[in-house]
Structure 1
């Protein structure tokens, strides 16, 4: 059974490992993942130690399979990581739907995500879920020692029809 819930502090190491594995897959061909692995791992651990209480976790039958976060607790999705072995199984879609519901419930009308422009899998995933390109940018990434192109994608969120206040004339 698939469930989404808030993370527990004792899951930080597990969540960092999932994030790291998914990150390595996402940067394949873009960066030297092995050379950057330790820095990436420490970044995941640092972020999760500071924000674990606001991280959404998805799992099946009690096993954690992915997580997502909104670092600034606004409409921007900063993280969405699914264990590579279970990607393309619907878990990312379920986690994204939960995030979008939270974003809308907290009064934000749009969900925004940013990824590197060569991350075709992530771009395709978000397009499939109604996101469209809203920005393109290039910025110097010190950790990569080069410019990296990024793509921003946005989805306008609406309450489900059943929950909207409809007025009939």
Structure 2
């Protein structure tokens, strides 16, 4: 576990930080190895990140160092689906994503959930590596409409059994 990291439910005061971290992590993702996304897509995704904390306030878990939020994860949609994991680029590769996912998995186990799903861009090799290290496996790869991006993207669906 990461030393000094606090994991807790998101508070209303966290909305702006959650949106900013999600957007910064999205912009730095290796999902865009083929080139930077265009300005229309960037604006669309920024709006989606700005809106999401208010739409899902009871489903977001944040990670903080000394009170400063550095990452977050969300359960949105099906009760067994982790919809989001975002860690600020300056804090990536420090175990924060793993700690957030572990926290959500423990909550799901307590709820009696036996299988968890998570999706990401097919070219987001960093996320795929993390999820595989956590025991997820790819069960589907293909084109899928992304509501937050407003376009079709190549995605992977991953799952992990709990128990």
- TM-score, length-normalised on structure 1? 0.85
- What are the superposed Cα offsets for residues 39-88 of structure 1, whole Å, 9 maximum, x if unpaired? 11110121111112321001112111100001125111100000110100
Cα displacement (A) at 1:154 = 0.7
Cα displacement (A) at 1:140 = 5.2
Q: CA RMSD in A?
A: 1.9
Give, in whole Å, the separation in 1 of the partners of 2:104 and 2:137: 17
Give, in whole Å, the separation in 2 of the partners of 1:127 and 1:53: 27
Q: Which has the larger radius of gyration?
A: 1
- Alignment match, 1:51: 56
- Alignment match, 1:12: 15
Instruction: Please say if residues 44 and 150 of structure 2, whose CA atoms lie closer than 8 Å, have aligned partners that are also in contact.
Output: no
Instruction: Please say if residues 116 and 148 of structure 1, whose CA atoms lie closer than 8 Å, have aligned partners that are also in contact.
Output: yes
- Alignment match, 2:153: 148
Q: Return closer, same or farther for 1:14/1:34 CA change in 2, 3 Å cut-off.
A: farther
Q: Tell me, which stretches of 5 or more residues in structure 1 are unaligned?
A: 159-169
Give, in whole Å, the separation in 2 of the partners of 1:137 and 1:55: 27
- TM-score, length-normalised on structure 2? 0.88
Give, in whole Å, the separation in 1 of the partners of 2:145 and 2:63: 33
Q: Tell me, which stretches of 5 or more residues in structure 2 are unaligned?
A: none
Give, in whole Å, the separation in 2 of the partners of 1:20 and 1:128: 24
- Alignment match, 1:165: none
Q: Return closer, same or farther for 1:73/1:101 CA change in 2, 3 Å cut-off.
A: farther
- What are the superposed Cα offsets for residues 79-118 of structure 1, whole Å, 9 maximum, x if unpaired? 0000110100011111110010112222211111011111
Higher relative contact order (CA 8 A, sep 6+): 2
